[in-house]
């Protein structure tokens, strides 16, 4: 029986399966463990089930001499220093595939919401300003017959493609494996939707220069990772009317404080990182994360491992 720390309460019954085999502590608070709280537990634990807000780096790993496995409750592992963990021979699990459809659904929902001005319409009704039907009230733009530019044609990008083509949209994409140049995509697209992982190459990919390449009638949608978009550049572009609007499920910083300057920008919709937030998806993610951890603690290969070279070594 190993000692395991789970850094947040998870939906479903997956953690019960973990507890049936190991000694498990689950962080009970709504906010994540502070760095000191996480570090204090590291000397004794053999398994860590982390989430995307937990920063796993060299200093933390130095305090964890018994750590045998990390299972990240996310597809991305940009919260983890993968190289540092791999050097220690520790496998890292993630949760691919299960959140593809839910995140693609939200990306399309954000396109429709920002282009059809849904939050503005709801606010107008709640203010009591809905006085009559008006031919020019809250005119938006169409998803059908538009061009959707997909930045990153992985699982989620392809799922978005299937959806928007069903709306009658044309798709262009850019990806490390092909497609058009980013500059061409930005110039052609009525919607630019981001589905790339956060890497050194994609950090700040959407910036002053690239935003200036977009149509003034185009919308930016980000359901990937916040730092792919330069927040200050986006604020400038929205305030200057360089683009028609933006809809974000992820931000930089994240979370945003209620008084953050980004939230005062016009034509902006922000939701709190809910791309995978359906009952079925989040429970499936928990099952996969627990399965990864159980396998590693049994000495077996993780089914979903982002650094499989630890097994080769």
Residues 20, 79 share a domain: yes
Each residue of 178-231: pLDDT tens digit?
A: 999 999 999 999 999 999 999 999 999 999 999 999 999 999 999 999 999 999
111 and 192 part of one domain: yes
Task: Give the active site residue among 225, 242, 282, 304.
Answer: 225
Among the listed residues 8, 117, 273, 304, the single catalytic one is 273
Q: Are residues 304 and 191 part of one domain?
A: no
Taking the C-alpha atoms of residue 289 and residue 95, their distance in angstroms, rounded to an integer, is 6
The percent of residues in the chain predicted with pLDDT above 70, rounded, is 100
For 67-109, write each residue's pLDDT tens digit: 999 999 999 999 999 999 999 999 999 999 999 999 999 999 9
CATH number for the domain that contains residue 205: 3.40.50.720
User: What integer is the mean pLDDT of 278-288?
Assistant: 98
Q: Are 113 and 260 in the same domain?
A: yes
Whether 112 has a pLDDT exceeding 80, the answer reads yes
Same domain membership, residue 169 and residue 92: no
Gap between the Cα atoms of 188 and 169, Å rounded: 13
Contact predicate 17/294, CB 8 Å:
yes
Q: Do both 54 and 84 map to the same domain?
A: yes
Condensed to tens digits (0 to 9), the pLDDT of residues 19-71 reads 999 999 999 999 999 999 999 999 999 999 999 999 999 999 999 999 999 99
Residues in the chain: 313
Question: Within its chain, how far is the Cα of 126 from the centroid?
Answer: 30
The pLDDT score that the predictor gives to residue 198 is 94
28 lies in the same domain as 129: no
Q: Is residue 312 very low, low, confident or very high in pLDDT (cuts 50, 70, 90)?
A: confident
Compute the mean pLDDT over every residue in the chain, rounded to the nearest whole number. Answer: 97
What is the number of domains present in the chain?
2
The residues facing 25 across adjacent strands are 5
The pair of three-digit structure tokens given for residue 197, joined into one six-digit string:
């992982």
Give the model's confidence band at 128: pLDDT under 50 very low, under 70 low, under 90 confident, else very high. Answer: very high
223-278 pLDDT tens trace = 999 999 999 999 999 999 999 999 999 999 999 999 999 999 999 999 999 999 99
My answer on whether 288 and 255 are in the same domain is: no
Catalytic residue from among 25, 120, 254, 283: 254
The parent domain of residue 62 ranges over 3-97+279-312
Same domain, yes or no, for 134 and 253?
A: yes
What is the C-alpha separation between 313 and 306, in angstroms, rounded? 14
Clarify whether 254 is annotated catalytic.
yes
Do 163 and 235 lie in one domain? The reply is yes
Q: Do 48 and 147 have their domain in common?
A: no
Annotation marks residue 273 as catalytic: yes
**Residue 229 and residue 142 share a domain:** yes
Q: Does the pLDDT at position 313 exceed 80?
A: no
């Amino acid at each position: 029986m190993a000692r395991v720390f789970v850094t947040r309460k998870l939906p479903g019954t997956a953690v019960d399966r973990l507890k049936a085999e190991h000694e498990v502590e689950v962080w009970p608070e709504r906010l994540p463990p502070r760095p000191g709280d996480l570090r204090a537990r590291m000397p004794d634990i053999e398994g860590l089930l982390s989430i995307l807000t937990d920063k796993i780096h060299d200093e933390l790993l130095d305090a964890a001499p018994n750590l045998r496995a990390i299972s990240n409750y996310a597809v991305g592992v940009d919260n983890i220093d993968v190289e540092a963990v791999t050097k220690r021979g520790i496998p890292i699990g993630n949760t691919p595939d299960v959140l593809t459809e839910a995140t693609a659904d939200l990306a399309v929902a954000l396109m429709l919401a920002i282009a059809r001005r849904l939050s503005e319409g709801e606010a107008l009704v709640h203010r009591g300003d809905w006085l009559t039907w008006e031919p020019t009230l809250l005119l938006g733009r169409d998803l059908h017959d538009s061009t959707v530019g997909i930045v990153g044609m992985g699982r989620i990008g392809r799922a978005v493609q299937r959806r928007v083509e069903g709306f009658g949209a044309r798709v262009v994409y850019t990806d490390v494996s092909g497609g058009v140049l980013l500059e061409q995509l930005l110039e052609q697209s009525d919607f630019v939707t981001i589905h790339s992982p956060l890497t050194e190459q994609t950090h700040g990919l959407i910036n002053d220069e690239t935003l200036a390449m977009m149509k003034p009638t185009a919308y930016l949608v980000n359901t990937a990772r916040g730092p792919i978009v330069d927040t200050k550049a986006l604020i400038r572009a929205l305030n200057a009317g360089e683009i028609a609007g933006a809809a974000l499920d992820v931000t930089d910083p994240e979370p945003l404080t209620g008084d953050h300057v980004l939230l005062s920008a016009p034509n902006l919709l922000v939701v709190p990182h809910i791309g995978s937030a359906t009952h079925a998806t989040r429970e499936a993610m928990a099952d996969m994360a627990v399965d990864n951890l159980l396998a590693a603690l049994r000495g077996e290969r993780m089914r979903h491992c982002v650094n499989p070279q630890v097994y080769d070594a």
